[in-house]
Amino acid sequence: MKRSSRPPTATDSFVRSQAENAMLTQEIIRRKRDGQTLNRRMLDLVVRGIADGSVGDAQIGAFAMAVYLNGMNRDEAVALTESIRDSGQVMRWTDLDLPGPVLDKHSTGGVGDLVSLVLGPWIAACGGHVPMVSGRGLGHTGGTLDKLESIPGYDVTPTDDIFRRLVKEVGVAIIGQTGSLAPADKRLYGVRDVTATVESIPLIVASILGKKLACGLETLVMDVKVGSGAFMPTPEASRELAEAIVAIGCGAGTTTSVLLTDMNQPLADCAGNSLEILEALRLLGGDGKRSRLYQVTRQLGQEMLLQSGLASDAQDAGTRLDRALDSGEALERFSQMVHGLGGPSDLAERAGHHLPTASVTLDLDADRAGFISAIDTRALGLGVVELGGGRRNAGDAIDHRVGLSHIAALGQRIEPGQPLLRIHAAERADAEAVTQRLRHAFILSETDDATPPPLIHATLRQEDL
């Protein structure tokens, strides 16, 4: 008996499209596996399939491994970054008629690195507009969103209208990545994390810049860390990443520069979410101008003002930054941002009332005298994780109260019984459990012959490549 024919349905078309994409993706993976070059059209097809689900996890893993093993040339890396940027919403700011440039800063992460909390409002006070989309901590590094969620009521996932209004009126809004922003990156990263393909420069840069450039930036300044607490394992790897970021960011149409900054010790003398909010408020209030945190933040601010055209030269940039901080305008921008995203309006005045504090503090005293010649910064970060202030897995809950403070610095003379740091914990048993790890993070020598590394190892711009 002859079957009656029926017209194709939308479901039929979708299934056929998925099958065709899978076959084409297989050929693209084969091409990359064999060391050949991919063009923008091929990368668009793969990335679009990652975003809409038509490319499966097995193919994503194979694609990532092919890139990991064979690398990408500069044109390929730019095309991959642009494809990830364009896989979802790309923010546009022209309709807001902003009076200043749209710019941002991003860091590869570290311990005691609260630069974003200070720099965003500081640049806003100098006339910039900073739509800062930040992330959470994982492993030994802290996350900006976790720090901000120490503040009662702070909403890291506001509506687009609120986000855009704050960027225009306050000049800064620090929020989390939305589902519509570079959706391909989230899925690609998740597969990379379980297929041993995280350590690939083209994939790392495409992940970082794909999200950042989707924010519609005119200027981006990156802070790439170097040292024992850095994301990259060696100074050479950090330099390679920095050069790739500059080249690919500029190749994708955004003025991009990188500062290589030191992470051989915590940037601030504290690490932990609520503790770092307190430190940010202190610095924005004009204290701590001799600290490493202040110096690195100011250098990044100068670079942002210079690259965006908000300052004519380094001296002009420094003058503008000093005026914004000393006048209280930078702190006011931070306060307006916090209140605009649901936090208390008087956080700066009553931080001790609003921010959670640990119920137990314990000083970790030195057991002998000496000069601090080295610090295992990663071990300090992992100590915060053990206390509950960080994550081993992406879904872990955070205790915003816990962390470390009064961390001794490289080159400092320590006497027996003098604290190396102070532990902030939920329970005394938690504090005692991490003492050995933390004690072993400090190397003491009898002589003061260690030369502290420079805070800024290098500045890279397009003309330096």
347-369 confidence digits (pLDDT tens): 999 999 999 999 999 999 999 99
Residue 22's pLDDT is what? Answer: 57
Residue 101's pLDDT is what? Answer: 98
Residue 225 is among the residues annotated as catalytic for this protein: no
- Residue showing tokens 């930036």: 217
Residue 424 is among the residues annotated as catalytic for this protein: no
Contact 120, 172 (CB under 8 A): yes
Tell me the CATH architecture of domain 357-445.
Alpha-Beta Complex (3.90)
Residue 430's pLDDT is what? Answer: 96
Selected from 3.40.1030.10, 3.20.190.10, 3.40.50.970, 3.90.1150.10, the CATH number assigned to the domain covering 94-352+457-464 reads: 3.40.1030.10
Residue 104 is among the residues annotated as catalytic for this protein: yes
Fold adopted by 13-71 = 1.20.970
Domain boundaries, the chain: 13-71, 94-352+457-464, 357-445
Burial 230-247, CB ≥16 within 10 A → b, else e: bbbeeeebbbebbbbbbb
DSSP string, 255-305: EEEEEEEE-SS-SSS-BSHHHHHHHHHHHHTT--TTSHHHHHHHHHHHHHH
Query: CB neighbours of 67 closer than 8 A, spacing ≥ 6?
Result: 32, 197, 200, 202, 203
Residue 192 is among the residues annotated as catalytic for this protein: yes
Residue 212 is among the residues annotated as catalytic for this protein: yes
In the chain, which stretches have pLDDT less than 50? 1-4, 6, 10-12, 14-15
Residue 395's pLDDT is what? Answer: 74
Residue 137's pLDDT is what? Answer: 73
Q: Is 271 exposed, middle or buried (0-12, 13-18, 19+ CB in 10 A)?
A: buried
Residue 18's pLDDT is what? Answer: 54
Residue 393's pLDDT is what? Answer: 74
Sheet strands side by side (includes 360-365): 360-365, 419-425, 403-405
Catalytic position from the list 129, 136, 192, 401? 192
Residue 144 is among the residues annotated as catalytic for this protein: yes
Residue 111's pLDDT is what? Answer: 94
Catalytic position from the list 81, 83, 107, 256? 107
Residue 323's pLDDT is what? Answer: 98
Catalytic position from the list 144, 254, 256, 297? 144
Catalytic position from the list 25, 86, 104, 457? 104
Give the C-alpha separation, 229 to 385, whole Å: 14
